[in-house]
Chain A
Amino acid sequence: MLRYLTLRIAQSIVTVLLVTMIIFVIIRLIGDPTHLMLPPEATEADRELLRQQMGLSDPVAVQYWRYLLQLLHGDMGMSYRFSLPALDVVLGRIGPTLLLTCTSLAIGILVGVPLGVASAVRPDGWIDFVAKAIALFGQAAPPFFFGLIFVLVFAVQLRWLPTSGYGGPQYLIMPAIALGWYSAAGLMRLTRSNMMEVLTSEYVRMARIKGVPERVVVYKHALKNAALPVLTFASLQFGILMGGAVSIESVFAWPGMGKLILDSIANLDYAVVQAAVTVSALMFTAINLAVDLLYAYIDPRIRYA
């Protein structure tokens, strides 16, 4: 177990390093911020001076190494746009994004998993039919498309909800459902196919042979086994939803990280982009690590391996 844990932590660190390294290089390929930071009439010599001050004239490898050393002290550089530490800028925007992704994931799990179980218990029953329709729509178009339709119907036509903005739950409903629908679709499909398989397993049959009530057979013996891959999938969904949040935040003018990242890329605010990606990657790997531990807690074959 200890070996497993060490291995997973090492893997997580490598993942974070790789992701930050990639974004570090890519953002430098996109453009040179000194063009945006200095007035157009500035000379090449002025810009070179600024680049040297910002450390941008060093080789990328050296810059990255410096970035890592600073990172150890929790320093992710300064945002030139906000004149604030990049980390503070990011942390100021992370709350709305987490609220949106966590609510969406909760919707995805609370809708997708029970629907998946119910449709596996009665394949081709009416619940299965409804669930398949929900899944089909959920994966037929990107979340922002549903976001736009919701705005049109519930905000513009019916005037039940505000079109966009941030505040009470009335602002959260549409973006969270638009995003959660997508993950509900995937979770429902995976739960259904896992449950179908597990329900024909020999140990489920043995549970029935024992005369355990069918509800215990389904919700204890079968669901716990079928839930293991669903758990991993859900934790990956978290990353996918953070990505999906970028477009949803634009549609609903949601003041989260998605919008911040887009604006920072447009303004070539390297430090903020790097900080946002580093924080996201850290969060994502931390959640995956937590899910792996949970997995080991549930599955004794891993716990004692």
Chain B
Amino acid sequence: MSDLLRVENLTTWLATESGIITAVDDVSFSVRPGRALALVGESGSGKSMTCSSIMRLLPASGHIAGGRVLFEGEDLLAKSPAEMEAIRGRKIGMIVQDPMTSLNPLFDVEDQVGEVFRYHLGDRSRRARRPKVLDVLSRVQIPAAEKRLGSYPHEFSGGMRQRVAIALNIACAPKLLIADEPTTALDVTVQQQILALLRDLQRETGMAIILVTHDLHTVQRFCDEVAIMYAGRIVEQGPVAEIFARPAHPYTEGLLRALPQLGGQEDRLPLIPGQPPSLASLPAGCRFAPRCRRATDLCRTEYPDWMATAGETRRSACWYADEVLG
């Protein structure tokens, strides 16, 4: 089956106080229709910047320096702003971390959800939009939706707001939903409900999902593929089951080694001694070398090439991938 989204050598620069950093460095991955890809990595590793680059919604200090983002075969980086507006919210949706701030405080739910129908499907009158708004609100399981149409964001709990955010992003049945840590800001029980909802919606609609998460248990339960990011680069990627069974990169290995000790609902990555390097002063060779117990002089001077491992389905950016694989 051909890819729905194919990110090739995506590189994004960011102007910061300490100079221009490469927040997304030569990142490539692909997502097939109906599948879920997990993007995992410590905070600051470039996951959100990758998502924003795909959406072409970088902060003013950001700049996509190279690569291609092929969506249904067409390069999003070559699209005009108007063409991107037509794609966002209609073919690609995105939910973000903090539902407390992602809805406009001055407009009611009907208005904010209805806008999607208005600008993508041309439903000009509020009355014509209402049944569609109600339908999508009930699909994200907002109880008594008809009573909540006139409610404002501050009248909803965090979990309910995230459901509204999901509603307006799935309203036009997008092919791809990007979920950037959709549960990090929520209570533990609500986290599980939101994940279950996303999974139900995925089954129902057949959309593909990119899920950014810290929770490796969620990756295991929810996702087909995983890409692990470290300091702006992807260091290992492939099918979840294979990588969890036999990691081919010491960083993945470190994350997984600590996994059984974590409770089932811990929403943070296991601790590996040391800190990721600052993107403003990267080491010359492998970026993980200062924390890697296998590091050699080669690692410290040259960045590892991609090593195809375990057939062509997996890749690891480690000089010693085959040894790690065991």
- B211 in the interface (beta carbon within 8 A): no
- Selected from B60, B101, B108, the residue in CB contact (under 8 A) with A202 is B101
Residues of A within 8 A of B55 (CB): 209
Residue of B nearest to A222 (CB): B104
Residue of A nearest to B118 (CB): A212
- B116 in the interface (beta carbon within 8 A): yes
CB contact under 8 A between A211 and B94, given known A205-B57, A206-B165, A298-B106: no
Interface stretch (choices A96-104, A135-143, A213-221, A238-246): A213-221
A304 and B150 CA atoms in complex are apart in Å by 13
CB contact under 8 A between A212 and B115, given known A200-B59, A203-B103: yes
Residue of B nearest to A210 (CB): B89
Contact count band on B: 20 to 34
Give per-residue flags for A275-305: 1 if the beta carbon is below 8 A from chain B beta carbons, else 0: 0000000000000000000000011110010
- B85 in the interface (beta carbon within 8 A): yes
- B79 in the interface (beta carbon within 8 A): no
A179 and B88 CA atoms in complex are apart in Å by 46
Residues of B within 8 A of A221 (CB): 104, 107
Minimum CB–CB distance for B116 against chain A, Å: 5
A39 and B246 CA atoms in complex are apart in Å by 110
- Selected from B60, B88, B93, B108, the residue in CB contact (under 8 A) with A208 is B88
Give per-residue flags for B58-87: 1 if the beta carbon is below 8 A from chain A beta carbons, else 0: 011000000000000000000001001111
Residues of A within 8 A of B257 (CB): none
- Establish whether residues A212 and B59, one from each chain, have CB atoms under 8 Å apart when the complex forms: no
Residue of B nearest to A198 (CB): B104
Give per-residue flags for B221-250: 1 if the beta carbon is below 8 A from chain A beta carbons, else 0: 000000000000000000000000000000
A91 and B106 CA atoms in complex are apart in Å by 40
Residues of B within 8 A of A304 (CB): 152, 155
A242 and B84 CA atoms in complex are apart in Å by 49
- Establish whether residues A224 and B106, one from each chain, have CB atoms under 8 Å apart when the complex forms: yes
- Establish whether residues A212 and B102, one from each chain, have CB atoms under 8 Å apart when the complex forms: no
- A207 in the interface (beta carbon within 8 A): yes
CB contact under 8 A between A225 and B155, given known A211-B119, A212-B85, A214-B85: no
Give per-residue flags for B155-199: 1 if the beta carbon is below 8 A from chain A beta carbons, else 0: 100000000010011000000000000000000000000000000
Residues of B within 8 A of A225 (CB): 104-106
- Establish whether residues B105 and A203, one from each chain, have CB atoms under 8 Å apart when the complex forms: yes
Residue of B nearest to A228 (CB): B106
CB contact under 8 A between A210 and B103, given known A202-B96, A301-B152: no
- Establish whether residues A209 and B93, one from each chain, have CB atoms under 8 Å apart when the complex forms: yes
- B268 in the interface (beta carbon within 8 A): no
- A201 in the interface (beta carbon within 8 A): yes
Residues of A within 8 A of B139 (CB): none
- B203 in the interface (beta carbon within 8 A): no
Minimum CB–CB distance for A278 against chain B, Å: 37
Residues of B within 8 A of A211 (CB): 84-90, 116, 119-120
Residues of A within 8 A of B86 (CB): 211
Residues of A within 8 A of B107 (CB): 221, 224
CB contact under 8 A between A213 and B103, given known A206-B96, A300-B154, A301-B154: no
A203 and B88 CA atoms in complex are apart in Å by 15
- Establish whether residues B169 and A209, one from each chain, have CB atoms under 8 Å apart when the complex forms: yes
Residues of A within 8 A of B102 (CB): 202-203, 205-206
Residues of B within 8 A of A210 (CB): 88-89, 115-116, 119, 168-169
| Closest 9 pairs between A and B when the two form their complex, measured CB to CB | A211-B89, A211-B88, A210-B89, A202-B101, A300-B152, A203-B104, A206-B102, A202-B102, A209-B94
Residues of B participating in the A interface, judged by any CB pair closer than 8 Å: 55, 57, 59-60, 81, 84-90, 93-94, 96, 98, 101-108, 115-116, 119-120, 152, 154-155, 165, 168-169
**Other 8 A-B pairs with CB < 8 A, given A212-B85, A300-B108:** A208-B57, A209-B88, A209-B96, A211-B120, A212-B115, A213-B119, A221-B107, A299-B106
Q: List 25 A-B contacts (CB under 8 A).
A: A200-B60, A202-B98, A203-B102, A205-B96, A205-B102, A206-B96, A206-B165, A208-B57, A209-B94, A209-B169, A210-B88, A211-B84, A211-B87, A211-B116, A211-B119, A212-B85, A213-B119, A214-B81, A224-B106, A225-B106, A298-B106, A300-B106, A300-B108, A300-B154, A304-B152
Residues of A participating in the B interface, judged by any CB pair closer than 8 Å: 200-214, 216, 221, 224-225, 298-301, 304
